[in-house]
A and B are shown apart, each in its own frame.
Chain A
Amino acid sequence: MDLALFLIAGAVALIGAVAMLMARNAVHSALFLLLNFAAIAVLFLLLQSPFLFAIQLTVYAGAIMVLFLFVVMLLGAEQVEDTPDRIAWQRPLGLLLGLALLAVAVIAGLRTGTTPLPGGEAVATFGNPASLGALLFTRYMLPFQITGVILLIAVIGVVVLNQRGRQSAESGQATGD
């Protein structure tokens, strides 16, 4: 049962990733990536991480992908790759290096061994949101607070970037008049 679910979710994740890579339209890429995120969320559930399943769906599939789609449609940057590559050997070299990395990663992954995941009584209580929260607010208190600062800096950064763009656009209009 678990294996069947894993195979289906894994196949969907792989198909979504490859289709994201191949799609010529950036909106299609974003939607295929959404499919991939949903499949990975299912895998999180299979690995007994219900909290991360919910976070994956709300933060990644919800917030981040909406942001992506919004910006793609705002810019109208769906298709920009009509012109050929400036460096002709860039694409084959990229493919070669990507496949080399895949080979290395597969070799490293196979070294983890094929022992099945542990079962038993310890698994029953593993991964419930309460244990994650307890760890988050005790041992990982400092990283948690640093994350808050990072989010604040990101908010300030986005506001500053947009503010500067607007000012330059307005001054450009003023000089244009």
Chain B
Amino acid sequence: MVPTAYYILLSAALFAIGVLGVLVRRNAMVVFMSVELMLNAANLALVTFARERLSVDGQVLVFFVITVAAAEVAVGLALLVAIFRTKRTADVDEVSTLRG
């Protein structure tokens, strides 16, 4: 069997790549995708620990994360569309005012 640490290291690498995407990229869509990547990395770690402990609770938590992520993506993309309607850009640097 594959040791737990391998999965955790892969999860850590994916999470770090997601963080890099949020920090470096300016296209709001790609920033959003990076957030999804981080959620997936956390899911992978949760499933790994559930397998290690032979406890299904970790898998239930991943199930909740996936459903809440679906809701988050729907609202987030609606927000992006609303921002794009007013600002005509998806660059996060351009969206710097609090006015609507």
Contact B44 A123 (CB under 8 A): no
The A interface, classified by DSSP as helix, strand, loop or mixed, is helix
Total contacts A-B at CB 8 Å: 259
Contact partner, B27, options A26, A117, A136, Cβ 8 Å: A26
Contact A20 B30 (CB under 8 A): yes
B98 lies within 8 A of chain A by Cβ = no
Contact A6 B2 (CB under 8 A): yes
Residues of chain A within 8 A (CB-CB) of B66 are 52, 55-56, 59-60
Contact residue range for chain A? 35 or more
Task: Given A20-B21, A101-B19, answer yes or no on A36-B37 (Cβ-Cβ < 8 Å).
Answer: yes
Contact B8 A59 (CB under 8 A): no
Contact partner, A71, options B4, B80, B91, Cβ 8 Å: B80
| Complex alpha-carbon distance, A14 and B10, angstroms | 8
Contact partner, B5, options A29, A95, A114, A122, Cβ 8 Å: A114
Residues from 1 to 29 in A contacting B, C-beta threshold 8 Å: 2-3, 6, 10, 13-14, 17-18, 20-21, 26, 29
Give the top 8 A-B pairs by smallest Cβ distance, nearest first: A94-B23, A105-B12, A102-B16, A154-B71, A77-B90, A98-B20, A109-B8, A161-B78
